[in-house]
Structure 1
Amino acid sequence: MLIGVISDTHGLLDQKVEERFAGVDLILHGGDVGGRDILERLSGSAPVCAVRGNVDAGDRECSSLPESLLITVGGAHIYMTHIFTPCRDGIVGDDAHGARVVVFGHSHQQYLEDYDDVLYFNPASAGRKRFANPRSVGIMEVADGAVKARFLSLE
């Protein structure tokens, strides 16, 4: 199964996103959506699962999104939330809730690390350019519980 991963759109959906997500079976949005119209546009490409970001909490249209989700896709448990601290190098992070993959956002920074059999994946921001971080989305390939992930630039 091919999954598009996006976060921190903040009300802007670049046309390149639709190009990058051509052929995906599912889209995961890691929060700070910025309006239901973003989710509606994404759902034109594939079904969408989304969580509420810290900015969405004050947005009338997106405040009803769940703070977190635990889904199973292609035999892999995927935990989604907006703000997350990965476990790594002896640092105790947030609970991955038994998931094989954690999809998150918030920092606007790319993050991809497989640590202690948990793949932590932040696709960075797909919205307006902020800070010096590159704008990007992600793709995950999931089959029989195995997961591969990569970034796709929007620059």
Structure 2
Amino acid sequence: MYTDMDTRARVAIVADTHGKLDQRVANEVARCDYVVHAGDVGCLNVLRHLSPLRQRRVVVRGNNDVCSKWPDSEASVLEALPLHAELELPGGLVTVVHGDRCGPANHRHRWLRARYPESRVVVYGHSHRLEVDTSSRPWVLNPGAAGVSRTFGGPSLIIISASKERWRARALRFPLPGQAAFR
């Protein structure tokens, strides 16, 4: 578990890069204290380009983070990625999983809330679908895909602003090339 008990923190949440990170997402990560990657990283180069201010990365392995899809020279990095990780922040705990082992999609949020009731936020990826579910605790967040494949409208991420008193989740989606920016 990674712990940071400063009075406030900004955390960028990404997932499903599959070896390619959108530069606009990387730019947002650089403005945050930490980054969480919810799996399907794809290669070490993606992690190198995720450079938060405090240089802390919390990363889990996704179902596509397998030896046959990563460069042989990066096998030790891949093998070190856990299936589950936690980040303690002011005011609560962030739990990170990939999401491929969390039951059927239509019950995933209920399953995650039941499995991790002590968390303030549960982060997952896998579906490539951006979702911010703050209807009850723990919040369940899926940042969508931060790369170029199956982005469903453009690469995206979520930024959590956390203090002991208040948490906020903000979703950001960037337009695909040739699309107008959302206003």
TM-score, structure 1 as length reference: 0.87
Query: SS of the residue aligned with 2:66?
Result: helix
Q: CA deviation at 1:138?
A: 1.1
Partner in structure 2 of residue 82 of structure 1? 98
Structure 1 146/11 Cα, relative in aligned 2: closer, same or farther at 3 Å? same
Partners of 2:126 and 2:35 lie apart in 1 by: 17
Partner in structure 1 of residue 36 of structure 2? 28
Q: Which letter does structure 1 place at the counterpart of 2:97?
A: T
Q: Does 1:2 align with 2:10?
A: yes
The answer (yes or no) to whether the contact 1:137–1:151 under 8 Å persists in 2 is yes
Structure 1 145/132 Cα, relative in aligned 2: closer, same or farther at 3 Å? same
Query: SS of the residue aligned with 1:37?
Result: helix
Unaligned runs of 5+ in 2: 1-8, 103-107, 176-183
Partner in structure 2 of residue 19 of structure 1? 27
Structure with larger Rg: 2
- Pick from 48, 54, 62: which aligns with 1:53? 62
Structure 1 118/62 Cα, relative in aligned 2: closer, same or farther at 3 Å? same
The answer (yes or no) to whether the contact 1:137–1:154 under 8 Å persists in 2 is no
Q: CA deviation at 1:57?
A: 3.1
Partner in structure 2 of residue 43 of structure 1? 51
**Pairwise CA RMSD of aligned residues?**
1.9
Q: Which letter does structure 1 place at the counterpart of 2:46?
A: I
Deviation track 1:36-88 (CA, whole Å, cap 9, x = no partner) reads 1211221365321100000013343423200001220123111000014211x
The answer (yes or no) to whether the contact 1:4–1:27 under 8 Å persists in 2 is yes
Q: Deviating runs (4+, > 4 A) in structure 1?
A: none
The answer (yes or no) to whether the contact 2:30–2:51 under 8 Å persists in 1 is no
TM-score, structure 2 as length reference: 0.74
Work out the percentage of aligned pairs sharing the same amino acid. Answer: 30
- Pick from 171, 174, 182: which aligns with 1:154? 174
| Number of residue-to-residue matches in the alignment | 150
Q: CA deviation at 1:133?
A: 4.4
The answer (yes or no) to whether the contact 1:10–1:32 under 8 Å persists in 2 is yes
Q: Does 1:96 align with 2:96?
A: no
The answer (yes or no) to whether the contact 1:126–1:154 under 8 Å persists in 2 is no
